[in-house]
Structure 1
Amino acid sequence: MTRVGALVSRVFGALVLAALLLVASTAAAIWWTARQDSRPQSDAIVVLGSAQYNGVPSSIFAARLEHALSLWEDGVAPVVVTVGGKAAGDQFTEAEAGRDYLMDAGVPGESLLAVPEGVDTLESMRAVGAAFGERGWSGAVVVTDPWHAMRAERMAEDAGISAESSPTRQGPAVQTRNTQFRYILRETAAYLLYRVTGESVVVAPGIG
């Protein structure tokens, strides 16, 4: 092998190693963030939407809403923000379904804010950032699934929100170790793609 060939081989090997280390460190950070539970006094609790069926939250969404309800009852923030748009043909947005669920659970209307925008996390966070700016709010506790927390925090920060996360510990996303492993792999790809492109890239159903 010539000197040039050896140099190219070493550079290629170094790049592959750097890429593997980046993926591994990102996956480890997602795992670590998922295990945290930050509950600082904030302007609002932001619940990221998920599927709803004719106004009834899915099991994943309901788990997030129940956790947000617990945070609100503990006095973490005076307002719960539900966020998320709707798919073609839906009558209700995710934000509306989440707001109605919490109202039925006893949260008064003045403590709820529905932001019915966004087909993915990035669009939703940008809409929430605009709503925060209009009200002079700055701090939020973000409620989502554990493996989604790091990307959600990052997108919230990029939208001008000082965000920490309190992930739900219930629901399908945390049922088995195999499920958790798959979610970490998907979120690692989604987080790295977001950092590279600045946009929300769908890498698997439900990941965006």
Structure 2
Amino acid sequence: MLIKYYIKQQCSAFALLVTALVILPSVVAAFNIYFYNTKNKLKSADAAIVLGAEVWQDEPSPVFRERINHAINLYNKGKVSSIIFTGGIGEDKDFAEATVGKRYAIAHGVKESDILIETKSQTTLQNLKNAKKVASRQDLSKFIIVSDPLHLKRATLMARDLGMNAYPSATPTTRYQSMESKLKFLVRETSAYFFYLMSKI
């Protein structure tokens, strides 16, 4: 009986340890993702890189529109002299995200000559890789990454891993308003963040 009790106790302790090793890093990562942008002061840059998001026909979705509006605001304030829109054609879509973003920005006062686009990417990492290529042709080397707050830790890490001189700037308003939507986005971003870290090993 004592042996069985000992084994049971050891198994319970091991299970608790494994659970702690899995949950604790996830909680810490989620905390850092949630508060990441508050630790970064906005800097001026050559260009704002707007990470792609869903489009509705030939219009930006509410999430994408918030990102575009923030980039336009940075442009109008003189924080950046150019805007790079990223994103290809999504599944069952007719227009590339970057193309929709460009049209919206022009309609809201941004000079077409100050806009660059890449229309092939489907992921955040591809957004950044392609934006870097587009920017290099124009001798742009310092960037502000524009996206939703919870997206920026992973996106900025990716940009810096690509050798980009990049700083985050979160949309001051977000369509992820409810606690449920924020939690879902946070869980998704935490998983994606860990997956990216593992892919580098």
Q: TM range, normalised to the smaller chain?
A: 0.7 to 0.9
Where in structure 1 are there 5+ consecutive unaligned residues? 199-208
Q: Counterpart of 1:92 in 2: which secondary structure?
A: coil
Deviations 1:11-67 (A, max 9, x none): 664443232221111001101114456421112101111111222111111111111
Cα distance, 1:90 vs structure 2: 3.0
Partner residue in 1 for 2:66? 63
TM-score by length of 2: 0.86
Q: Structure 1 residues 5 and 137, CA, compared in 2 at 3 Å: closer, same or farther?
A: farther
Distance 2:87 2:186 in 1: 23
Note the aligned Cα RMSD (angstroms): 2.3
Cα distance, 1:86 vs structure 2: 0.4
Partner residue in 2 for 1:180? 182
Partner residue in 2 for 1:50? 53
Deviations 1:151-174 (A, max 9, x none): 11112112221221111122322x
Cα distance, 1:71 vs structure 2: 0.8
Distance 2:117 2:74 in 1: 17
TM-score by length of 1: 0.84
Equivalent residue runs for 1:1-208 within 5 Å: 13-36=16-39, 38-173=41-176, 175-198=177-200
Cα distance, 1:178 vs structure 2: 2.5
Contact 2:54 2:90 in 1 (8 A): no
Q: Counterpart of 2:170 in 1: which secondary structure?
A: coil
Contact 1:43 1:140 in 2 (8 A): yes
Where in structure 2 are there 5+ consecutive unaligned residues? none
Q: Structure 1 residues 4 and 177, CA, compared in 2 at 3 Å: closer, same or farther?
A: closer
Cα distance, 1:139 vs structure 2: 1.7
